[in-house]
A and B are shown apart, each in its own frame.
Chain A
Amino acid sequence: MGAEINQMYSDEQLMAQSAIGDRKCFEMLYDRYSGKIYQYFLRMLWRDHELAEDQTQEIFLKIVHKPQHFDQNRPFKTWIYSVANNMCKNQYRHREVANKARQDMTVTSVESASPISTDFDKKNFKTALDEALQNIDIHKRNAFILRFKHELSIKEIADITETAEGTVKSRIFYTLKELAKMLSEYNPHENHEKSR
């Protein structure tokens, strides 16, 4: 019943209802996006759980306190990710120095990471992927995460990042190339074929 009601309303309708104080609608909206946004922040902000929590809370508090900032001409999904993206940019500015230091450390760790085994290990692959992603340029990483993790279209990503679609495509392309190179040591080829 709850799921049916949840599906009945679009994000935009839920947002409109939330703006006038409808608690249930706001809760539905939160349930739809909180997890995704949290994961987005987690990946974009150096896998810092506390920071990701704070940013997730902040973005929803913004929705609570200033719902009028929602641009009704845009889809809610695109809007919330663009807000999240801007919040990430602010974090990058504030932590530019720390970020550089962190990047250096992760590069070392990735480079030093030797193949654990010829067997494919999903858990290790995931860890390696997360670490490798930290070495990727933030714009490329952003496009890649939005595309692969959040399954947004190229157009939507272009809207969120305020760039041309071609730029988004090329960013994703280069990110894939780099990641494939970094993670090639895990040689997932055979194991992946088996798992399929």
Chain B
Amino acid sequence: MKNQDKYSLDDLLLSRSYADLTTEERQFVARCETSPASYEQQRKSALLMQEVFSNEKDEAPKRIKKDVMAAFDTHHRPAKKTVLLWKSDRNWYNQPLFRIGLAAALLGVLWLVNGPETSDVKKELLTENAKPKENEQKSPPTQDDSVQTQISSNQVDREISADPQQTAFPEKPKNTMQYAEAKAAMPPENEIMELEVAEMAESDDASADAGFSSFDSAVHAPVYADEVQMSARSQANDEQLEQAEKSIYFLLEKRKIGSNTPVVSFKLSDRADWKKDHYTAY
């Protein structure tokens, strides 16, 4: 049994003739029920077979190589480019599609929880900060402005209370109640025009002092609208007109909001619209 494990008949056949075998090997061959004559015959057949096999060319048809290499290229190259959202060899929780969805859902939840609040607060802060800057930018400090700001709130009070009809002048009413009140307080249309034209005429004056001191009298001065309009068109400088308007609004707003309020805001665009409407109506 030991010898059987040790020797292999084909090894012996291919390596040595019966004459060259050792006693042990011959015993092994005998156990394999092989006579010396049949051993020789088998040996020659084995050698011949080995020769035939070794002379064979181990070549596979070229067609196979072409197909296999093409398959290799198609298998490996697109795999680097393609991003599969669902890969068959992964668990569902490891799928790219699932992860993208999860990330999107989390972002959505975060936005819903924090997004609107934050954005409101930011908006509020931005408007608060922007208001004074806007005022500064839109009304650069001129000599007129500086003079206007010097006017005390008492003086303003006096001026406005002297003619209560002027309170209806400046701002576009915000709601229906305010609008009704404002309308009731407003003077008739002709008077408004007179006031407007007088204002324009007032702004022609280069001196700020004169502009403000003559404001009261200009308002009450009887002027024919056509004449003044013509003269205003030819002489009025737009910039000065704007400044005059601003100063009025500034004072009115200040009165309205109260002297403790530091921020005074008004909309030029509103004022411009209002003015435009009235000019066209006229």
Contacts and interface: CB of A to CB of B under 8 A. Distances in A.
A165 B65 CA distance: 34
A179 B45 contact: yes
B9 interface: yes
Contacts of A36: 58
Interface string B1-44: 00011001110010000000000000000001010001001101
Given A57-B68, A172-B10, A38 B60 contact: yes
Interface residues of A, number: 41
A192 B48 contact: yes
Contact of A64 (B65, B75, B77): B75
B185 interface: no
Contacts of B206: none
Interface string A126-162: 1001000000000000000001110000100000000
Contacts of A180: 38, 41-42, 45-46
B73 interface: yes
28 contacts: A21-B79, A23-B72, A30-B68, A34-B64, A35-B57, A38-B59, A39-B56, A53-B63, A122-B52, A125-B52, A147-B10, A148-B50, A149-B56, A154-B8, A169-B4, A172-B10, A173-B10, A173-B32, A176-B10, A176-B45, A177-B34, A177-B42, A180-B38, A180-B41, A180-B45, A183-B45, A184-B45, A188-B44
Given A30-B65, A65-B75, A166-B5, A179 B10 contact: no
B65 A34 contact: yes
A188 B45 contact: yes
A192 B52 CA distance: 12
Interface residues of B, number: 40
Interface of A: 18, 21, 23, 26-27, 30, 34-39, 53, 56-57, 60-61, 64-65, 122, 125-126, 129, 147-149, 154, 165-166, 169, 172-173, 176-177, 179-180, 183-184, 188-189, 192
Contacts of B69: 23, 26-27, 30
Contacts of A188: 44-45, 48
A189 B41 CA distance: 8
Contact of A57 (B48, B53, B67): B67
B76 interface: yes
Contacts of B4: 166, 169
A194 to B, nearest CB: 12
A151 B78 CA distance: 39
Contacts of B75: 64-65
Given A147-B10, A189-B41, A189-B44, A61 B71 contact: yes
B9 A169 contact: yes
Contacts of A154: 8
B147 interface: no
Interface string B135-161: 000000000000000000000000000
A57 B61 CA distance: 10
Contacts of A56: 60, 64
Contacts of B61: 38, 53
Contact of A26 (B13, B38, B46, B72): B72
A35 B41 contact: no
B58 A38 contact: yes
A27 B249 CA distance: 88
B49 interface: yes
A99 B166 CA distance: 117
A86 B71 CA distance: 22
Contacts of B32: 173
Interface string B184-211: 0000000000000000000000000000
B52 A64 contact: no
B100 interface: no
